[in-house]
Amino acid sequence: MRFHLCLTVAAGLLVAAPMTVGTQTMSRTATTLAAIARHPAFYHDKVVALVGTPVELVEGALPALPLEAPRQFVIAPKSGRVPLRALELRGRLFDIGRFASDDSRLGPLDLHKLITLAAGDRWPARDRLLILHGTTWIDRDPVLAPTLRNLALQPERLTGQTVVVRGRFRGRNLFGDLPAWPRQSEWDFVLQTADAAVWVVGKRPRGDGFDLTTTTRTHTGRWLEVTGRVTIVDGLPLIVADRLRAAEPEAEPEPEEDPTPALPSPEVIFAAPAQDETGIARDVLVRLQFSRPIRPGSLQPNIRIRYANGVTETLPTWTATYRPGPMAVEIRFESPLAGGVGVIVELGADIQAPDGVGLTPMTLRFTTSAGLR
């Protein structure tokens, strides 16, 4: 089986809408990558939360999530760089193929460059390019409590286990919380709390003091306690119920606030010599200015300097000195560079601002003078 890794690029202006707690409407939907891939039309233009672990791609410059080719799932962070660890990601999902290439709604989202990077010159078909826009994230607790929300976010970790969860009775998906009905029986119903919802099957929703109908909203909002075994059908988590009980309404916790977004990645905003400049003195002092302050200790280990291919001379030893006032680094060579050759200076993503946000990688190329100086 072939997999395509989903690129993550710095882009995005849209903020995930906050969840309204305790109402009948879920303004954010807890789900999984598998469910989104299976039901992209349902999740299109919805604010979602899902769990994933980004991995490095393109020489460490871009994080990624795996999705089976030819599909791509691009994460466009609100700002900063996505950490390479297990995260709960939150953003608004777009299936780009459901827009026309000239759709005016895409303009304010600043997505055209991203789409070209991910899909090339050809506009993607439906279900092929999914973008999680304005993404923020929080770290996940490695200890997974058997809650309804964790069941919605990570059902694969609870599959086969017996759980006891509480939530609101929502009938047979009468509020459109989930993308598909598993059709186990006419008594299948949705259990919901906060931004999470799962199907409950195997039991008619009646018991001591309650007898609920699944096809009208008359009884929706009643709280139930469900005991049952977790399984996954059609990409969606299900609870195969063994026991149902009436439950008292629970005070739902306030949703975790999205973290304050990191400042933008620092960038090189000035370089001397200039990009692709020729005839540069062999005793040149290379100077690069940044858009934000930089941690001095992160510079030297993450700067790579080399001659262009075919040059046999040995590169002189060099040192990098950070100047905090102008937010610039000066690279000084201990002896003159070779004459008439290309020089390549690479600044890596592990060069960091004081808040830990990595540099947008940059490569500077110039050619030295063929003369003595």
| 78, 179: one domain | no
Beta-ladder partners of 6: 65
pLDDT score of 63: 63
Write out the two tokens for 255. Answer: 């949703």
277-304 residues labelled b (16+ CB within 10 A) or e (exposed):
eeebebebebbbebbbebeeebbeebbe
Q: pLDDT of 156-172, one tens digit each?
A: 999 999 999 999 999 99
CATH number of the CATH domain containing 182: 2.40.50.200
Beta-ladder partners of 277: 366
Per the structure, the count of domains in the chain is 3
| 78, 112: one domain | yes
| 23, 126: one domain | yes
Residue 179, domain extent? 148-246
Beta-ladder partners of 63: 56
Prediction pTM value: 0.64
Q: How far apart are alpha carbons 298 and 300 in whole angstroms?
A: 6
SS3 of 357, please? coil
Q: pLDDT of 204-230, one tens digit each?
A: 999 999 999 999 999 999 999 999 999
Q: pLDDT of 79-108, one tens digit each?
A: 778 888 899 999 999 998 988 887 766 766
Over the chain (373 residues), the average pLDDT of each successive run of 10 is 41 32 62 95 93 71 74 83 88 89 70 73 88 88 92 96 97 94 96 96 96 95 97 95 95 58 77 96 96 91 93 93 92 95 95 87 94 67
pLDDT score of 108: 61
Write the DSSP string, 158-216.
TTT-EEEEEEEE-TTTTT--SS----S-TT-EEEEETTEEEEEESS-SEETTEE--SSS
Burial class (CB in 10 A: 0-12, 13-18, 19+), 178: buried
Over the Cα atoms of the chain, what is R_g? 27
- CA torsion sign for 214, 217, 222, 223 is positive
| 124, 161: one domain | no
pLDDT score of 19: 30
Asked if the structure places residue 251 within a domain, the reply is no
